Amino acid sequence: MPPKAKATKRWAPTSRPGEEASSSRGPEAADRLSVLPDALLHHVMSFMKAWDAARTCVLSRRWRDLWASAPCVDVRVGRYSRAPEDFAKFVYRLLLAREALAPVDTLRLRLPEDEDDDFDLGDIKMWVRHAIRRNARVIQLTGHHHSFAELQLVDFVSRHLKILRLSYADVHDSFSKQLSSHCPSLEELELKNCFVEWDDITSVSLKRLTLVKCTFTMSFSVDAPNLVFLRCIAPETWVPLFKNFGALVTGSVMIDDSLLSHEFGKDQQDDGDEFAQTSDDDDENNSTYEWYDEFISDDSDFSGDFCYEFSDDINDDYDYGSDIDSDSDTYVYSEIANGYENKQFANSDDGHDWTKGSKYHGCSAKHVVNDYKKLGGQSVLRSLSNAQRLELLGHSGEVVLRRELMNCPTFHNLKTLAIGEWCISRGADFDILILLLQHSPCLEKLYLQLEMNSDIQKALGRGTKPKGGSFACKHLSMVKIRCTKDDPRVHMLAQLFRSNGVPLEKIYVRRSGSFYLRNLKQERSITINELHECDPY
pLDDT tens digits, one per residue of 125-136: 888 888 998 999
pLDDT attached to residue 469 = 82
pLDDT attached to residue 84 = 77
| The residue type at 373 | K
Encode 141-174: b = buried (16+ Cβ within 10 Å), e = exposed: bbbbeeebbbbeebebebebbbbbbbbbbbbeee
pLDDT attached to residue 156 = 81
Alpha carbon separation from 417 to 119, 292, 364, 475 (Å, rounded): 47, 12, 25, 13
pLDDT attached to residue 497 = 92
Q: Is the dihedral of CA 89, 91, 94, 95 positive or negative?
A: negative
According to the 3-state scheme, what is the secondary structure of 369-408? CCCHHHHECCCHHHHCCCCCEEEEEECCCCCHHHHHHHHC
Judge contact between 75 and 111, C-beta under 8 A.
Answer: no
DSSP E strands, 160-274: 163-167, 169-172, 188-192, 195-197, 200-202, 208-212, 215-216, 221-223, 229-233, 241-243, 250-255
pLDDT attached to residue 53 = 87
What H or E segment, with its residue span, contains residue 110? strand 106-110
pLDDT attached to residue 285 = 41
pLDDT attached to residue 248 = 96
**Radius of gyration from C-alpha coordinates of the chain:** 28
Write down the domain spans for the chain: 291-386+394-537
For residue 448, give the nearest of 231, 289, 248, 291 by alpha carbon.
291
Burial of 441 per CB tally in 10 Å (0-12, 13-18, 19+) = middle
Report, as ranges of residue numbers, the positions in the chain whose pLDDT lies below 70. 1-30, 78-81, 114-117, 152-153, 263-328, 341-373, 427, 454-468, 513-537
- State the alpha helices, DSSP H only, in 158-253: 173-182
pLDDT attached to residue 36 = 85
pLDDT attached to residue 297 = 46
